[in-house]
Structure 1
Amino acid sequence: MQSIKHLFKVGHGPSSSHTMGPAFAAQDILDKYKQMTHVEVTLLNSLALTGKGHLTDYIIKQTLYPVPVTFLFHIDVSKHPNTMVFKVFKDDDLLDEIEVKSVGGGDIIYGNEISRNKSIYPHHTFLDIAAYAKEKEISLYEYVREVEGPEIDEFLSFVWQTMKQTVEKGLVTEGVLPGDLEVKRKASTLIKKRNEAESHSVKQNRLVSAYAFAASEENAAGGIITTAPTCGASGVLPAVLYFLKEVEQVNESKLIESLAVAGLIGNLIKHNATISGAVGGCQAEVGSACSMAAGAHAYVEGQTIDQIEYAAEVAMEHHLGLTCDPIDGYVQIPCIERNAVAAIRAINASGLSYFLSDTRKISFDMIVETMYQTGLDMHPKYKETAEAGMAYFYKGKNK
């Protein structure tokens, strides 16, 4: 299992697999082939079907500029859903042909590689981590710090500051998101109307929703966000942490610790299953983000390791089967609203875990395995293709 530094990435939205990953690949090409005169890029499967809405072609062109780039779009189900093939030319001569897979969360692998990043964690299941931490009488945060080293705190502080800035920028930005859907930003409206609700619970939900909309709208606009664990799910964890800061008055050092716990949960999902919507559907993205946020919230609330596990499990369990069906390929509908719903659900899952963890029957490891198998069984058209679900039935009304 890799460092959580490879899970939390800071960069431009709207998609970690369709924007960040391709940008990283294009930069590698640019650095390696100094003599190239033009590049032909073939985008396959999910990248072919939703790449334009996710700005895949745009970010590759921008990264390789001023080298001319042409694009081909192709379906080949024998290939990974997010495959790119770069043909690099010097005049009429083909210098190289490079196959790259964007495997989720901004990670890329070349050819038959398994991973580009070194595994540093000695344990690969929540069960083993929990047993080790209990034996040593340390918290999950202390476990992460033991493996990653004390410098992880500085990295997580940077991640938190970025998340906070993203939420705060989104809360004050109005207008319409880029793209043909003409979706209006709603975060500023939600925050302005937060006091119009009659009950405390409704006010709380409105605040959490505003924070999630703020981060997700920044992502949809191509702003600076943090993958948590992906761009498409980047509003869930920041919303919960920002709510803990603003409403619960939790100090920043505790929030940074909770980020380590969230990262550990996300890392387990990434290692044992997938965080890619093109592989597992939205359950792998927003479902994973909800688990991470639920675990972070439970940690801040002082819950035990078993309770944190239960919070993360409940959060994932009730996202099982969630499809990824972005309308017109934009990370807007249903993605933004879905982040808000998941942020509220994460807090609710943490609340349930406080009272019910001693009655649980399902482990976190089991629900991660279940999510992965569910994603593999899901029809490919429901996994980030914009060919099914809401994307199929949407007729351009009620924008």
Structure 2
Amino acid sequence: MDHDLLHAPGAHPIKLWTHGVPVEEDARKQLINTARMPFIFKHLAVMPDVHLGKGSTIGSVIPTQGAIIPAAVGVDIGCGMMAARTSLKAADLPDHLFGLRTAIEAAVPHGRTAQRGIRDKGAWGEAPHEVDQMWAHLEPGFKRITEKYPRLEKTNNHLHLGTLGTGNHFIEVCLDEGENVWFMLHSGSRGVGNAIGTLFIELAQQDMRQHMAQLPDKDLAYFTEGSQHFEDYVEAVGWAQDYARRNRQVMMARVVAAARSIIAKPFDAQVEAVNCHHNYVQQETHFGAQVLVTRKGAVSAHKGELGIIPGSMGARSYIVRGLGNEESFCSCSHGAGRVMSRNEARRRFSIADQEQATAHVECRKDSEVIDEIPMAYKDIDAVMAAQRSLVEVVHTLRQVICVKG
């Protein structure tokens, strides 16, 4: 059997593709809480990068009928990956990669300025033309949403489009097994997606105030199909997912332009391209039924569908092709998955550890990125081995440049 089965009293079955990778006890408890919700369709599917999350477990696939859990989608709505193979070879890259890294850093706002009253370095001061053009596609939908929920108007929306963010969001230059150069990045719906997620999580909890005591976790508060908030959330989450996809497209175009400013040799940047979400919800058909599938830290892996599974900033990443495994609701992992919290990583590791773990990568190696040290993540090889029945590897990538927010 390619997966393990977890049964708990009063819960739907839980199927785990976790052979050979650790699953923390708190994550198991959280999975059981979600599996106890009455509207789960058939079973939960759990990916090998599974770890504790807010409300629902990261690395889980939650199929529902007649209801939707906003906290299961989370606040980084539409977070995902984009990768593009170029016509460049490793030998075409500069001997010293610092100049290319700094050109990418200059082209895409990243990080965040916490102090109030100072312009946030992670947002545009003035949006470039291509950001304005992309926002024009998004603005009508945003107006419809903000007419109902004016609180969302005063969010970072237009000026966050085409920006990276913080934490585990990154831009990388990678080489595949044939020494082909790839650009790869990871980001989502930025400030506006966070605001949408936060608002609807609050609304779900307010709507269920009388029933909260019966919920295994307040973050499992849900909207029922047919209710006004259900329809509004489906509209808003769909818009945020579109924003996230377009955000990655703008960033990728700017990364390519930055590379062209450094690399004299002309190159094609769309030899192969993949753009996939891993925090989202959409309607799909499974086992002959219409189902809402929430992938919280999981990627769609329908038969023949391409996806991206990144490792850490010091490990390999993979371009994969889905095998269409119905038992997993045609899904796979979204990365390696953390084995410790950010605070634990900061406590346990030093700058010297970070320098050693990323010696082969042109990247920042300071105290601000220790929480992203490779040792804070599961072994990507073990994660890939656990999901052999879900995906096949098309390309194996190793990063040579990594830009962190």
Q: Shorter-chain TM-score: what band? A: under 0.3
Higher helix share: 1
Task: Tell me the TM-score normalised to structure 1 length.
Answer: 0.28
Higher strand share: 2
Task: Tell me the TM-score normalised to structure 2 length.
Answer: 0.28
Larger RCO: 1 or 2 (CA < 8 Å, sep 6+): 2
